[in-house]
């Protein structure tokens, strides 16, 4: 009987310990000539977390540069071609030879200090897959409540337009598409308004399932510490600075060459702390 009692207890203890370990966020130390930055990696983006940890442990980033620096925007690194690169060499196209599927999460925003995966632009990368190694740390700037209201409206309009386009592409909505085609040919604004009124409730219902609105806390974050809200929803955020936020400001302020490369190289070494 004692044996039967002990087994469940050990199982519960093991499960609890496993859960604790899974919840512990990995910390990576980024050493630069301007000081040390420590970042925690989000468990909610496991593909990016695990890839970053592997590259750090492999020494992939050691000797690379912050090769693109834009004040009040971000500092970017992770290009292996930057190791020992001459000043005239164009950087920003290097990587480990693979990309990573996007891991978007609406709880993470481009606030100052977040760690984000760089990527190729939409026209060649419609799935918004991340670079295998390149990343940026957000500096950005503060935004007023009025600024954020505009971003809110813009995000809503963009998302509703996407839903509208998807609506017309569904086979069961071919009748609506046929009507739209005729309306455009006839340039009939009144008919367009009528069609829009019919479809709007459907689009709104779809939008409300996954709204793009910021939470009050996120709005306050952009007002208080700043960031780059225009990038939200377009790039995978997979960590944030927990020490050395001021180092981002120092690096972002350095003099740069054409292409936003710092005149004086800013080398990086990294290690996983836990």
pLDDT at 20: 39
Residue 86 sits in the same domain as residue 185: no
Angle between helices 145-169 and 189-209 (to 10 degrees): 110
For residue 150, CA distances in Å to 35, 49, 208, 214 come to: 37, 32, 19, 12
Q: Which domain holds residue 170?
A: 146-209
Average pLDDT over residues 238-252: 98
Query: Residue 9 falls within a domain, yes or no?
Result: no
Strand partners, 37: 30
Q: Is the pLDDT of residue 2 over 70?
A: no
What is the model's pTM?
Answer: 0.81
Which residue in the block uniquely carries the two structure tokens 């983006």?
45
User: Do 121 and 29 share a structural domain?
Assistant: yes
In this structure, the answer to whether residues 41 and 150 fall within a common structural domain is no
Residues 78 and 133 grouped into a single domain: yes
Instruction: Judge whether 204 and 164 are in contact, CB under 8 Å.
Output: no
Residue 22's pLDDT is: 52
Q: What's the CATH code of the domain at 244?
A: 2.40.100.10
> Residue 134 in contact with residue 76, Cβ under 8 Å?
yes
Could you tell me if 107 and 202 lie in one domain? no
Let me know whether 65 and 198 are in one domain: no
Structure tokens at 187: 């340039």
Q: Would residue 205 count as lying in a domain?
A: yes
Running DSSP on this structure, what letter comes out for residue 237?
Answer: E
Banded model confidence at residue 88, pLDDT cuts 50, 70, 90: confident
Nearest in space to 57 (alpha carbons), one of 25, 76, 86, 29: 29
If asked whether residues 55 and 164 sit together in one domain, one would say no
Structural domain includes residue 217: no
Whether residue 99 sits in one domain with residue 164 = no
102-114 pLDDT, tens digit each: 999 989 999 999 9
Does residue 137 lie in a domain region?
A: yes
Radius of gyration for the alpha carbons in the chain, expressed in angstroms and rounded: 23
Q: Is residue 53 domain-shared with residue 123, that is, in the same domain? A: yes
Domains of the chain: total: 2
Asked if residue 109 and residue 168 are part of one domain, the reply reads: no
> Within this chain, do residues 243 and 132 fall inside the same structural domain, yes or no?
yes
The residues, ordered by sequence, that sit 6+ positions from 221 with a Cβ below 8 Å of its Cβ are: 109, 111, 227
């Amino acid at each position: 009987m004692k044996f039967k009692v002990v087994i469940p207890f050990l199982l519960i203890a093991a499960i609890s310990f496993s859960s604790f370990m899974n919840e512990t966020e990995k910390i990576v130390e980024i050493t630069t000539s301007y000081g040390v930055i420590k970042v925690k990696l989000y468990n909610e983006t496991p593909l990016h977390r695990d890839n970053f940890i592997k590259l750090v442990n492999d020494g992939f980033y050691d000797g690379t540069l912050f090769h693109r620096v834009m004040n009040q925007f971000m500092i970017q690194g992770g290009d292996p071609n930057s190791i020992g690169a001459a000043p005239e060499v164009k950087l920003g196209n290097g990587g480990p030879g693979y990309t990573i599927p996007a891991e978007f999460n609406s709880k993470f925003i481009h606030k100052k200090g977040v760690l984000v995966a760089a990527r190729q632009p939409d026209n060649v990368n419609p799935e918004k897959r991340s670079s295998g190694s390149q990343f940026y740390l957000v500096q950005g700037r503060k935004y007023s409540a009025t600024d954020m209201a505009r971003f809110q409206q813009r995000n809503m309009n963009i998302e509703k337009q996407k839903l509208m386009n998807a609506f017309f592409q569904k086979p069961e909505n071919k009748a609506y598409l046929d009507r739209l085609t005729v309306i455009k040919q006839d340039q009939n604004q009144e008919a367009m308004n009528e069609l829009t009124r019919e479809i709007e409730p459907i689009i709104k219902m779809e939008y409300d399932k996954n709204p793009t609105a910021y939470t009050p806390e996120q709005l306050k974050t952009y007002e208080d510490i700043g960031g780059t809200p225009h990038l939200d929803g377009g790039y995978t955020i997979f960590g944030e600075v927990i020490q050395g936020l001021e180092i981002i400001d120092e690096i972002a302020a350095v003099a740069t060459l054409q292409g936003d490369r710092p005149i004086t190289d800013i080398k990086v070494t990294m290690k996983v702390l836990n």
